[in-house]
Amino acid sequence: MLKVKDTIIAGVLAGWMGNVVKEALTWSFYFMGWVSYTFVHIAAGFYYSKENIDAPLSLVTGAITDWTIAGTFGVVLLYLLRYTGSDYAVFKGIGLGSLVYVITFGIGMALDITRATLITPLPDFLLLISHLFIGAVSGWALRKYFTHTVSPKPKKKAET
């Protein structure tokens, strides 16, 4: 068990653990030609034109954005588990991952927030699977490594 006592740091680390798996899947899909854009490309598309999404500095900006979102995801999941209990943490993570996917890709793509677009159902489905994995791995990490942070012991009241 990792001895991270800070809620934000524990959540960010769990989100990043999940993001490693999400990114590995997505980049694999990208190199196999199954998706045209990774999450790094899509995040870069928040800021840059479609023609500039592949530029090295655009990808750096996209990566920073993606990892920031992943850390925030982990913090939100930690608080969700703290409020609802850490039983079924993997499934709760999957549920949150699918909700984030629906919000970011359902609503976000409909509003043209990013210049990257998903043309066919296959990329959309594969990116959904990646979101389920970030949720599952983040939930697993919080349950396995950060249980003491998710369910902190009550503090003793100072005697007067």
- Give the whole-angstrom CA distance, residue 159 versus residue 43: 51
Average pLDDT, the chain: 88
**Where is pLDDT greater, at 158 or 125?**
125
If we measure between CA atoms, which residue out of 23, 130, 135 comes closest to residue 90?
A: 135
In this prediction, residue 96 carries a pLDDT of 96
Determine the Cα angle at 84 with ends 83 and 90, to 5°.
120
If we measure between CA atoms, which residue out of 157, 158, 156, 147 comes closest to residue 7?
A: 147
pLDDT at 31 over 80: yes
Q: With left for phi above 0 and alpha for psi between -120 and 50, is residue 114 left, alpha or beta?
A: beta
Domain residue ranges in the chain: 7-150
pLDDT at 62 over 70: yes
Determine the average pLDDT of the residues in 74-82: 95
**Which pTM value belongs to this model?**
0.87
Structure tokens at 158: 């100072």
Q: What is the pLDDT of residues 32-61, one digit of tens each?
A: 999 988 999 988 988 888 888 999 999 999
Q: What is the pLDDT of residues 97-127, one digit of tens each?
A: 999 998 887 776 677 666 666 667 888 889 8
pLDDT at 7 over 70: yes
Q: Any idea how long the chain is? A: 160
In this prediction, residue 3 carries a pLDDT of 77
